[in-house]
Structure 1
């Protein structure tokens, strides 16, 4: 499966993204012929983490406050606890993510990433998986939570691909490439 030049936005906070949940899907997009774009709330760089330890930094390509979903073919929301916890407090980031779902564009989300979608109020009636501690949040937001390696939900305007943790990345990236 190829992405045939599709442009995929990766929305991350300035600090706290789980590095492997950014870099492995990023590489999968590139290998499938797509163009990944790093979108954040602030210009400059984002700080990756290996769980709680600082890892590499990555240059930001664009900021969410000046973009819309119209400029991209899909969205990836990596996890890490701090990353989506910060994003859900920034209206421009929440609006950016919501735009993809409302437009029926594919969205891939892993680990704690669904917090941004919960804040955007776009998980109601959808089936997702996530890091286990988010299951109550997802259920309270109207989603059906399941404990599976990868879930592809097509009950909505566009495909929503979700996974639980870094160990699920091979299945996550495969499903993501198939549905983007």
Structure 2
């Protein structure tokens, strides 16, 4: 994996994120030398889901309102059904996605997280993938939907499910380090 020393990554999430889709990228990116922060609507901790069961929590480093995108090199959005579904109703979270995209910084979304890209209206004309149940939403948002483990189109990085996590993280590190 590429050396991420000196790079800062922001993960945005709320309760009910898919455990592996936050824990795996966070661990891999930290192991590569990156500083990784988790932001959510409120301080404290957010809880993961492992399949259909509640699982391990993660500490929140800052609130959505406290995020300064200038402090970060990339944005990562984990899935889980409920996490992006509730997060896309939070304008501060959607604004983070829009702002990262507008700044040309990598925006990485896996599984159900591309709902955030739909809500931010940044998929028009882009190739993207997601969990199969979201693909009509992506298409309706103007994306060219493909079924590949990791799709990189400009600064957007998308993957389908937890099985794609190694390719997803490789896409993130490549986008950040060149």
Task: Please tell me the TM-score bracket, short chain as reference.
Answer: over 0.9
User: CA offset at residue 68 of structure 1?
Assistant: 2.8
Q: Deviations over 1:95-117 (max 9, x none)?
A: 01111001000111100001111
Counterpart Cα distance in 1 of 2:8 and 2:18: 22
Q: CA deviation at 1:4?
A: 2.4
Confirm or deny that 1:8 pairs with 2:9. yes
Residue number in structure 1 paired with 2:97 = 97
Which structure 1 segments of 5+ residues have no match?
none
The alignment yields a C-alpha RMSD, in angstroms, of: 0.9
> Does the Cα contact within 8 Å between 1:78 and 1:113 map onto a contact in 2?
yes
- TM-score when normalising by structure 2: 0.95
Q: What is the aligned residue count?
A: 175
CA distance in 2, matches of 1:179, 1:32: 14
Q: Does residue 1:175 correspond to 2:176, yes or no?
A: no
Aligned to 1:34: 34
**Could you tell me the TM-score, scaled by structure 1's length?**
0.94
Q: What are the within-5 Å matches in structure 2 for residues 32-111 of structure 1?
A: 32-111=32-111
Moved over 6 A (4+): none
- Alignment partners' CA distance in 2, 1:66 and 1:173: 25
Distance, in Å, in 2 between the alignment partners of 1:51 and 1:98 is 29
